[in-house]
Amino acid sequence: MNIEIRIQEQTAQLEAQWAEDERWAGIERTYTAEDVVRLRGSVVPECTLGRIGSERLWRLLTSSPEGPGGYINALGALTGGQAVQMVKAGLQAIYLSGWQVAADANLSGSTYPDQSLYPANSVPQVVRRLNNALLRADQIDWSEGRNGTDWLAPIVADAEAGFGGALNAYELMRAMVESGAAGVHFEDQLSSEKKCGHLGGKVLIPTSQFIRTLTAARLAADVLNVPTVLVARTDALSANLLTSDVDERDASFATGERTSEGFFRIQDGLEAAIARSLAYAPYADVLWFETSTPDLREAEEFAAAIHEQHPRKLLAYNCSPSFNWKKALSDEEIAGFQQQLGDWGYRFQFITLAGFHSLNAGMFELARGYRQRGMSAYVDLQEREFALEADGYTATKHQREVGAGYFDKVMQAVSKDSSTLALHGSTEEQQFA
């Protein structure tokens, strides 16, 4: 068939999908369906994990909660093993923080602060690692005839400020989707000056420029034919620098002052965060304003302003470890914090650096005890693991946990009378039955 005829047929199909599928209600695209089809090529690789994850994430975020304040909560995973334990414990989604990748999981093998100093393909590679760990857990359970655990929890990954302009954002989004990310968030900072949302010195890009970033990310997902959940984050609450005053939507926040680097000084605050998020709403599935404190009044005001104009827009909230929670809130307020956010439409709530803090605190505690008490300290850890087995914990049997038994089955499929099976005769089989 003539290529142009095929392109027109596929364009008509995509136009109908965008118009009729409830998934795309309220979403604007500045490009056409034909643009997408022409960029796909004649062969579109199937991104199975990205598709499964994004569809599941969307269902979780949009399904009607059984009670008031329905929300999905997630922890930031640093390793594949942590992702497996999160799912084993019953969490339905996983967050992957660029901060954690910068600190301890990037492809340069260096330790960095959260300033986009690591290779841009690092987060997609960690997404792939987390998914591989979840796939192995699924394969082990399947091979043993176990059921009840849906291992492929959707992963929401951090694309930071896109590591450059619109083309960089496009390529990064492609890599995220291909690695199996279900959701991806971008922030409206200048990538070359990017900072963690809880650091100083943040520089925003014009509102129109960030819309181009979101558009490029959406285009990448569309080209790959995956409905990736796109999250738009603004740092306008605490950023007081702007690259350019070219966008009239930013003009009301400009002070008229310039810095030595040529940046424009602007007024930060909730009003600025709301204004930017309203501008981003048609181009993103979920909105997130980065906060400086766990302030419920602030969260309620933001949600009300967004939902006045976009009643169905989903919101996200970073329950950050950068906050001193006990200093800011009472025990009662902390206990009801996420439920209250859920009532206001914050459907995705997450603790970004949970993996980093859990890993470091746990290892420090063990190392200190080991230095002081030797094997008694390690045996205390082992006994805690045994106690957790009643709740479904299985990593006590660490050989089985990583697939020794699974690969024994591979060997038996190759050679039925193999005498080199790993678990048979192992200390784990003898002592941890």
Token pair 């906060």: residue: 291
In the chain, how long is the greatest CA-to-CA distance? 80
**47 catalytically annotated:** no
Cα angle 277, 280, 282 (rounded to 5 degrees) comes to 125
DSSP letter assigned to residue 232: E
CA atoms within 13 A on the CB side of 223: 21
Check 176, 181, 196, 316 and give the catalytic one: 196
Residue 3: CB partners within 8 Å, gap ≥ 6? 42
Token pair for residue 8?
């027109």
CA distance 299 to 11: 41
Alpha carbon of residue 386 to chain centroid: 31
290-to-248, 249, 322, 387 alpha-carbon distances in Å? 23, 20, 12, 38
427-to-211, 227, 312, 384, 398 alpha-carbon distances in Å? 58, 47, 56, 20, 11
Token pair for residue 347?
């459907």
Contact 231, 285 (CB under 8 A): yes
Token pair for residue 152?
């492929």
Residue 349: CB partners within 8 Å, gap ≥ 6? 71, 72, 73, 74, 316, 317, 319, 338, 341, 342
Contact 72, 339 (CB under 8 A): no
Q: Would you state the torsion angle of the CA atoms of residues 161, 166, 169, 170, taken in this order, to the nearest 10 degrees?
A: 170
Q: Where are the alpha helices (DSSP H) in 144-282?
A: 166-179, 207-223, 270-280
Task: Report, as residue numbers or ranges, the catalytic residues.
Answer: 196
